Amino acid sequence: MASVLRQAARLASSRCLTQLSAASSTSRLGASSYNFSPSSRNASTSSTIKVQLDSNTGVAIMMFQNPPVNSMSLDFMTEFVIAWDKLELDKSCRGIILTSALPNVFSAGLDIMDMYGTTPEHRTAFWKALQELWLKVYGSGKIVVAAINGASPAGGCLMALSCDYRIMIDNPKYKIGINETKLGIVAPFWFKDCLENTVGYRMSEMSVQYGILYNSAEALKIGLVDQLVPEDKLISTATETMIKWFAIPDYARQISKAMVRKATMDKMLAGREADITNFVTFTNKDSIQKSLGMYMEMLKGRKAK
């Protein structure tokens, strides 16, 4: 155990968890001191990411607004990481709620148009941006809660899986899951690892092969999300949940989080270059380009009906 703790302490000062100790101001706020007065809100906005930080509570809400479906394009992910870095450096921020500013969709996942018909250079930058985003969110010392207010397939699901807690609107029309095989593509190992860490080996084995998208009740049943709430209670529940987590001393929680996530993080960090090469090589294939093209056609055709 002592060696695990030493390792975790080393991790806490490593590249991906540099924010851990910086944010370790122990339990400044308990639930009783919660005050969400509008005057205490800081707002910062890029074109696709909107951030509201309440410096009284330490809760930041990061909203995706990349219409029509919050697809994770290179531009979106770049803006996400810039906004994320600002929050990480802000000591008044102890937790981040991820949600969508658009109706009916949390995120449609990776922007297919960034993978379809683009150059290898573009796809390299695209994949690096995705790795960066994931490393930041998954490796954050802050408490991160996903408030899932709509569809959340593939990359959208990965984003939710990278959080500490997932709350979803209780509505059967909203689906979440790792559905890549349905597009004729393969989710990389770290998508699969995040799913497996959350729902277990057997469930992820079925899930990634079939490319299953679960409705909200099914997602709760398998543990893909932690809680379902009515739409009008989503943000208040996410905020209250966050305040409860704030009662745990930051440093102890952060070290514990780092210990639990270390193996998954290390695997990605060690395989980062190979993962980029795999992605670019895989998406260079004619058959994969054809699958992506057909999927886009299907999406557009569905709309035309």
- Rule CB under 6 A: is residue 102 a binding residue for ligand LIBGGCMN? no
Render 178-215 in DSSP notation, one character per residue. --GGGGT----HHHHHHHHHHH-HHHHHHHHHHT--EE
- Rule CB under 6 A: is residue 111 a binding residue for ligand LIBGGCMN? yes
| The token pair that represents 67 in the structure block | 């219409």
Nearer to ligand LIBGGCMN among residue 191 and residue 246 (C-beta): 191
- Using the 8-state DSSP alphabet, how is residue 39 labeled? G
Strand runs (DSSP E) across the chain, as ranges? 41-45, 49-54, 59-64, 95-100, 143-148, 152-153, 165-169, 175-177, 214-215, 227-229
The region of 19-27, 30-38, 86-94, 275-283 touching ligand LIBGGCMN under the rule CB under 6 A is 275-283
- Rule CB under 6 A: is residue 194 a binding residue for ligand LIBGGCMN? no
Nearer to ligand LIBGGCMN among residue 5 and residue 299 (C-beta): 299
Inter-residue contact 100 to 63 (CB < 8 Å): yes
CA 259 to CA 6: how far, in whole Å?
Answer: 10
Nearer to ligand LIBGGCMN among residue 205 and residue 240 (C-beta): 205
The region of 57-65, 131-139, 176-184, 233-241 touching ligand LIBGGCMN under the rule CB under 6 A is 176-184
- Rule CB under 6 A: is residue 58 a binding residue for ligand LIBGGCMN? no
Among 220, 282, 289, 291, binds ligand LIBGGCMN (CB under 6 A): 282
Distance, C-alpha 296 to centroid of its chain: 23
- Rule CB under 6 A: is residue 193 a binding residue for ligand LIBGGCMN? no
Q: Would you name the residues annotated as active-site residues?
A: 110, 155, 179-180
Using alpha carbons, select from 220, 120, 110 the residue that is nearest to residue 170: 220
- Rule CB under 6 A: is residue 294 a binding residue for ligand LIBGGCMN? no
Using alpha carbons, select from 81, 71, 80 the residue that is nearest to residue 50: 80
CB of 250 to ligand LIBGGCMN, least distance (A): 32
